[in-house]
Amino acid sequence: MIIDHPNKTHQTTVNNAESAKQVALDAARKTFAAGGGSPAQQAAYDAATKIADAAFYRSVIASCIANGVPGEGQFRQSLHDVAGVWA
């Protein structure tokens, strides 16, 4: 996901967060594939994707707050859905 936003600082922050998430997810996929897909590998993969998603949502929330961009609440809900926390 690449966003185009009028607030260019927010746009850059969110796009950088998305890029970092994609790198982390790619590394998790490669590790999972190399490990043969055991239950332990699946658990590690699931944890890595959860961590990557949570980090992304935290970055977006922080950017919304720092840059006065509305919509922070929807990302807090997504963070809660992924990690069970609001912040």
Each residue of 14-52: pLDDT tens digit? 999 999 999 999 999 998 888 877 888 899 999 999 999
User: What is the percent of the chain with per-residue pLDDT over 90, rounded to a whole number?
Assistant: 80
* Angle ∠(35,83,56) on CA atoms, nearest 5: 80
Residues 4 and 61: their CA atoms lie apart, in Å, by 17
The model's confidence at residue 84, banded by pLDDT at 50, 70 and 90, is very high
Task: Give the predicted TM-score (pTM) of the model.
Answer: 0.92
Range 73-81 average pLDDT: 97
Predicted pLDDT at 65: 97
Residues 37 and 5: their CA atoms lie apart, in Å, by 39
